[in-house]
Amino acid sequence: MKHTLKLFLLLTLIGASGLLKGQDSFPPNSDTLQDWTQVDSVMPAGQIGKIDFIINFSEKFIGTPYRYGGKQPGGFDCSGFVCYVYGRLGYKMPASSSLYNQFGTAVPKRAAQPGDVICFKGRNMYASGIGHVGIITEANPKEIYFIHASVNKGITVDKLSSEYYRNRLVQIRRVLR
């Protein structure tokens, strides 16, 4: 009886992880994120582990100094930080924030989820392109929190409702599926 229960639990876990259904491996092994993008208002169960990893791993770097062009734990710029965090799961992210408008899938603000990449204008709020990126750590109907590399504070968590970021939001991109 104990062996039957153990076998049942094992098969249930494998089935829930998607391994029996032919879903993507973890970490992803494709070279293009276009294969992995999905726009849903509810994150698939198989992604929860990836999201938790991204959030927990990224938060370990809070306080790390900002370094222009930085892509390592000694110092990050915004795109270097996003690349480094997602790179731990095998994702190849753009090295420049300006390329994120072509990466993943745009989602409306109301559908933002943890793990999504949030894109802003840079210091010049009148510019039309993306100049800054971060990773959403929490999203609810009242607020979106994101972690990013700030020139003044290094790796930090901010909220979208702050005037500086609210006025610079360009879009939100879904990378995980």
Cα–Cα distances (Å) from 28 to 24, 37, 102, 177, in that order, read: 6, 12, 19, 10
For 51-81, letters b (16+ CB in 10 Å) and e give: bebbbeebeebeebebbeebbeeebbbbbbb
Q: Active site includes 3?
A: no
Residue 87, H or E segment: helix 78-87
Respond yes or no: is residue 132 known to be catalytic: yes
Active site residue 148: yes
DSSP state of 156: E
Closest CA to 61 of 134, 163, 116, 131: 134
Q: Six-digit token pair at 81?
A: 């930080």
| Marked catalytic residue, from 3, 83, 119, 148 | 148
41: nearest Cα among 136, 140, 111 = 111
List active site positions: 78, 132, 148
